[in-house]
Amino acid sequence: MCMDDSALVEAVLPEGWPRPRGYSQGLRIPAGHDLVVVAGQVGWDQNERFVGHSFVEQFEQALSNCVRIVEAAGGRAEHIVRLTMYCRDRHEYLYGLKDVGAAYRRVMGQHYPVMALVEVRALVEDAALIEIEATAALPPGSPPPLRAAAPARGGE
């Protein structure tokens, strides 16, 4: 195991396994961390307008949205410990991997949490090409979350 000083999270890698590129096999999160669970984010801005029609544009925006929510909770990108990505066409991800990787590093730097990519038939938003969920583990002593207006309730 190796320690990530910024988040106090330990990477877990079984003996003899090669170190993965672009993700972690497992993470051990010490007690006392506050978990922040981020709902699926698509490639739109704060006004619910899609930023583009390409997979890479939507990927970068959706990932940025996840980070912004973690930041609003008092954390940083390096506190994200898990990403689950749902895409409509995994080939768009695979064929654009170089550009996806560059977009990832612009948002997350060299921080690689555990990740999964799942191909799905459709997403709730018809124009969405990808949706990303995140889980963050904020270390003890992280700043309190930003206060926002109460969320809208269904049907109003």
- The two structure tokens encoding residue 96: 């654009």
| 41 touches 69 (CB < 8 A) | yes
pLDDT of residue 5: 41
pLDDT of residue 34: 92
pLDDT of residue 32: 87
Domain that holds residue 98: 32-138
What is the CATH classification number for the domain harbouring 59? Answer: 3.30.1330.40
pLDDT tens digits along 75-107:
999 999 999 999 999 999 999 999 999 999 999
pTM: 0.85
Radius of gyration of the chain, Cα coordinates, nearest whole angstrom:
16
Residue 127 lies in a domain: yes
Residue 5 lies in a domain: no
Residues in the chain: 156
pLDDT tens digits along 115-156:
999 999 999 999 999 999 999 999 888 787 776 655 655 554
CA 130/CA 63 separation, integer angstroms: 10
Residue 21 lies in a domain: no
Residue 47 lies in a domain: yes
Residue 134 lies in a domain: yes
What total number of domains does the chain contain? 1
Can you give the three-state secondary structure of 55-103, one letter per residue? HHHHHHHHHHHHHHHHHHCCCCHHHEEEEEEEECCHHHHHHCHHHHHHH
Please give the helix or strand (H or E) that residue 135 lies within, else none. Answer: strand 130-138
Residue 154 lies in a domain: no
Please give the helix or strand (H or E) that residue 104 lies within, else none. Answer: helix 97-108
Residue 85 lies in a domain: yes
